Amino acid sequence: MSMTTLQRSSLDDLALILPLVADYHAFEEIESTESMRENAVRKLLNNPDFGCVWLIYSDGHLAGYIALCLGFSIEFNGFDAFVDEFFLSKSFRGKGIGTEVLVAIKREARKLDVKALHLEVAKRNTSAQMLYSKAGFIARDKYVLMSLAVENDDDHR
């Protein structure tokens, strides 16, 4: 069994994180540019009130990353967080590392006083759905996650 560790990231880790984010976006078919990814990751790393990014190491090798973005929930009576992105490089998948990361991220969330974790997973990614279910995440069939990209008025000038 591998030894999996999480290392909370800082701006010093940007060069390690960005290629992983690019790989994740390619895997999930998320349209983004290099500058968009760098801008978003920089904002998160510069503002701990927004959340955190952890690098994932397996036996000392960089395996991926996980990002939590913080919010507040009246329903859950306190801070909540979205597992905004969770990515393991292909050679590290299917080895139990994802399970170890989810256990560790729950501990990290408790340290941040988070009362609930949320995530979204692609409908086609059934292996990830099984991983999340085994970790205790449940589909909230009563609700549908809906999103709206909010643009600046300047975007249309």
Tens of pLDDT, residue by residue over 86-128, are 999 999 999 999 999 999 999 999 999 999 999 999 889 999 9
- Judging by DSSP bridges, how do beta strands 51-58 and 114-119 pair with one another? unpaired
Sign of the four-CA dihedral 91, 17, 26, 86 = positive
Has this prediction a pTM greater than 0.75? yes
Domain ranges for the chain, please list them: 4-156
| DSSP single-letter state for residue 11 | G
Contact 73, 79 (CB under 8 A): yes
Report residue 5 as tokens: 């560790």
Strands, sheet with 61-73, edge to edge from the N-terminal-most edge strand: 4-8, 51-58, 61-73, 78-88, 114-119
Could you please state the CATH topology (level 3) that the domain comprising 4-156 is classified under.
Aminopeptidase (3.40.630)
pLDDT tens for 20-75 read 999 999 999 999 999 999 999 999 999 999 999 999 999 999 999 999 999 999 99
